[in-house]
Amino acid sequence: MPDIMGLMKQAAQLQSRMQELQAELDRIEVEGIAGGGLVKVRLTAKGELKGVEADDSLMQPSEKEILEDLLIAAHADARKKVEALLQEKMKALAGGLPLPPGFGLG
C-alpha cells in the first residue's frame, strides 16, 4: 500500500510549485519574429500580447497586406516559443513525481 501521507505531501508540494509557476509565467516574455526582423511580437508565457514592433518601411499603404501577414507570422512564432517553454516548465515541475507507466509528460 502506498504511503498516503507521503503522496499527500507530494501533492501539496506540487500545488505550491504550480502556483509559483503561474506567477512566473506572468513575468516571462517571449518574442516572435517575422520578415527577417521587420516585425516583432512580444507575448507573456500565458499568451498575453505585450508589444508589437514594425519596421518603418512597412508603414506604406502598399505594404499593408505584407505587414498584416508578418504580424500573423510573428505571433505564430511567439506562440510556438510559448508552447515549448510551457512544455519544458511542466516537465521540470513533474520531475521526480511517481507517475504510473503511460502517464509521462513528454
- Report the predicted TM-score, pTM, of the whole model to 2 decimal places: 0.72
* C-alpha–C-alpha distance, residues 94 and 89, integer Å: 9
The number of folded domains in the chain is 1
Q: For residue 99, is it within any domain?
A: no
**For every one of its 106 residues, what pLDDT tens digit does the chain have, with 9 covering 90 and above?**
567 887 788 778 878 888 888 888 889 999 999 999 999 999 999 889 999 999 999 999 999 999 999 999 999 999 999 999 988 888 887 775 555 555 444 4
The answer as to whether 49 is a domain residue is yes
Q: Which domain holds residue 70?
A: 29-94
Residues 6+ apart with CB under 8 A from 59: 67
Considering the domain boundaries, does residue 71 fall inside one?
yes
